[in-house]
Amino acid sequence: MNDKSHQPGRLQKAPESFLDASFVSEVNKHGFDEKRREILRSSFAAAATAVAATTAGSSLASEGFVGDPDILNLPPWSTSLGLPVAHRGYGMPAKFEMNLMRRESPGPASVRQASVAFTPLQGLFGIITPSGLHFERHHQGWVEIDPSKHRLMINGLVKNPKVYTMDDLMRLPSVSRIHFIECGANTAMEWGNVAVPTVQYTHGMLSCSEYTGVLLSTLLEDCGIDMKKAKYLLVEGADGSGQSRTISLDRALDDCMVAYGMNGEMIRPENGYPLRFVAPGIQGVSWVKWLRRIEVGDMRWSHKDETTGYADVMPDGTMRQYTSIHEAKSVITSPSGGQMLLDKGFYNVTGLAWSGRGKIKRVDVSTDGGINWRTARLETPILSKALTRFNIDWVWDGSPAILQSRAIDDTGFVQPTYGQLRAVRGSRSVYHNNAIQSWKVAENGEVSNVQIL
Ligand SMILES: Nc1nc2c(c(=O)[nH]1)N[C@H]1C(S)=C(S)[C@@H](COP(=O)(O)O)O[C@H]1N2
Ligand SMILES: [Mo]
């Protein structure tokens, strides 16, 4: 790239909500419509002129000062006493950041106990999702369990079936691991080319945390698992939905765990407090929350959440069951749908890549809809079955562009285009859409969701 001036790109934040009752007012408030865009443009131009005018006419200019004169105007926070320590026992984000929040599933108001709230990927940095912004997917609402009343039973093909209290579990050897969780239905609306406007809604059933807990291998050994007969586990939640999923024993013994910690503190109630199943690389539905029972067996259970739901409708109409592992996938989180580039010049294009099979090896980025590709910088740490952050320099010349990212994992798997994915999967699926996402940048700077085959 020739232009290394690194003038920071001017980017307007995405609208945070859409399609619900407050759609129109939300959109207006966040600058999605024509009028608002005009106001922004003119105020941006006016601000630029004002800076020039203030410095040009002032004595500052004669002293050779160029730039924003506000650097010399001392604000109240520089001339007064701040707030005392522990003003808030539990810290909160700045009030100016309060708009960055989980947003509920768009579309016809479903039962709010069996719904989704998406993570605002467009506003996050690095790879860890702040716990308060972790996506939520409940089948029958979330519960806040008294940890002293919670129990975990391990039964079935084990010598010593056991019931653990939380205290029992916390005495066992613990591990801390960083992993992503993605709902199998993430990016589902794109199967039907619905083109929801922001990355929060296209990819926001995705989060990444550091989990602390006990490895399944430790627990199963503690109960004396019958290794000759055992092939599968059933993991079951304590909420009213009776969430239960079959996990193959080799996956479970590899890196599955029961977690009580998330990002350094006890797991949040929405995410399964006080105990959840962590199944690295496997779709979210198997990460059973409020975990109460693990049964060891020799056959798959074919429970409701693995027959009527979470099965893939193939082009010939057959249902594909137990497709649990997330193949490599990536998405550019900024610039992304609903944001606006306010002028030409340098931009840091950033996004996330992940694979349920291992580590991300490479991410390529295209700004011309997949004709030319450049290799992005992967930021460390690059961990197995965790989100990986990528960045790449881009100088926008003001002409229309289409931004895409393509992940390659350490098995050599290359993230498919929509054309390639549909050739195998058809278009009647709900789950496991890992196609390349395209964001169109229009001449006026508006970024929107488009589908490129
Ligand atoms: N007990 C229980 N576990 C559950 C669910 C549930 O409704 N009940 N939802 C599942 C689904 S479909 C997903 S995608 C993940 C979502 O986890 P989160 O709400 O922590 O993001 O939890 C899974 N585990
Ligand atoms: Mo899910």
Residue of 81 and 112 predicted with greater confidence: 81
Please give the pLDDT value at position 303: 87
User: Does residue 100 lie within any of the structural domains?
Assistant: no
Does residue 144 sit in the same domain as residue 283? yes
Q: Which atom of ligand 1 is nearest to the CA of 291?
A: 1
Provide the 8-state DSSP code for 446: B
Does residue 382 sit in the same domain as residue 365? yes
Q: How many CB atoms lie within 10 A of CB 370?
A: 16
Query: pTM higher than 0.85, yes or no?
Result: yes
Among the bound ligands, the one closest to the CA of 138: 1
For residue 51, pLDDT beyond 80 = no
Contact 182, 205 (CB under 8 A): yes
**pLDDT tens-digit series, residues 15-36:** 444 444 343 343 334 333 344 3
Which residues does ligand 1 sit against, CB inside 6 Å? 134-139, 183, 237, 239, 241, 243, 270-271, 284-285, 287-290
Does residue 295 sit in the same domain as residue 339? no
Does residue 374 sit in the same domain as residue 435? yes
For residue 49, pLDDT beyond 70 = no
Neighbours of ion ligand 2 (CB under 5 A): 137, 183, 284-285
3-state secondary structure 13-60: CCCCCCCCCCHHHHHHHCCCCHHHHHHHHHHHHHHHHHHHHHHHHCHH
Does residue 212 sit in the same domain as residue 242? yes
| Torsion angle, alpha carbons of 220, 321, 280, 155, to 10 | -20
Does residue 270 sit in the same domain as residue 358? no
Q: Which of 294, 320, 346 is the endpoint of a domain?
A: 320
**pLDDT tens-digit series, residues 378-411:** 999 999 999 999 999 999 999 999 999 999 999 9
Does residue 61 sit in the same domain as residue 180? no
Does residue 305 sit in the same domain as residue 353? no
User: Does residue 145 lie within any of the structural domains?
Assistant: yes
- The residue segments making up the domain with residue 202 are 107-320
Q: What is the residue with the minimal CA distance to atom 12 of ligand 1?
A: 285
User: Does residue 236 lie within any of the structural domains?
Assistant: yes
Tell me, what CATH number does 172's domain have?
A: 3.90.420.10
User: Does residue 437 lie within any of the structural domains?
Assistant: yes
User: For residues 68 and 275, what is the distance between their CA atoms, to the nearest angstrom?
Assistant: 52
Does residue 284 sit in the same domain as residue 387? no
Looking at the 3D structure of the chain, how many domains does it have? 3
User: Does residue 418 lie within any of the structural domains?
Assistant: yes
Tell me, what CATH number does 444's domain have?
A: 2.60.40.650
User: Does residue 359 lie within any of the structural domains?
Assistant: yes
Does residue 188 sit in the same domain as residue 282? yes
Please give the pLDDT value at position 87: 86
Binned at pLDDT 50, 70 and 90, residue 444 comes out as very high
Among the bound ligands, the one closest to the CA of 184: 2
**pLDDT tens-digit series, residues 104-156:** 976 665 688 888 999 999 999 999 999 999 999 999 999 999 999 999 999 99
User: Does residue 77 lie within any of the structural domains?
Assistant: no
3-state secondary structure 130-190: CHHHCCEECCCCCCCCCHHHCEEEEEECECCCEEEEHHHHHHCCCEEEEEEEECCCCCHHH
User: Does residue 202 lie within any of the structural domains?
Assistant: yes
Which of 113, 137, 267 for a ligand 1 pocket mutation test, highest count of atoms within 8 Å of Cβ?
A: 137
User: For residues 328 and 163, what is the distance between their CA atoms, to the nearest angstrom?
Assistant: 38
Q: What is the residue with the minimal CA distance to atom 18 of ligand 1?
A: 136
**pLDDT tens-digit series, residues 244-301:** 999 999 999 999 999 999 999 999 999 999 999 999 999 999 999 999 999 999 999 9
CA–chain centroid gap for 218, Å, is 29
User: For residues 161 and 372, what is the distance between their CA atoms, to the nearest angstrom?
Assistant: 58
Does residue 37 sit in the same domain as residue 144? no
For residue 45, pLDDT beyond 70 = no
Q: Which of 72, 96, 131 is the endpoint of a domain?
A: 72
Q: What is the residue with the minimal CA distance to atom 16 of ligand 1?
A: 137
Among the bound ligands, the one closest to the CA of 102: 1
Residue of 194 and 106 predicted with greater confidence: 194
Q: Which of 292, 320, 348 is the endpoint of a domain?
A: 320
For residue 7, pLDDT beyond 80 = no
Does residue 184 sit in the same domain as residue 238? yes
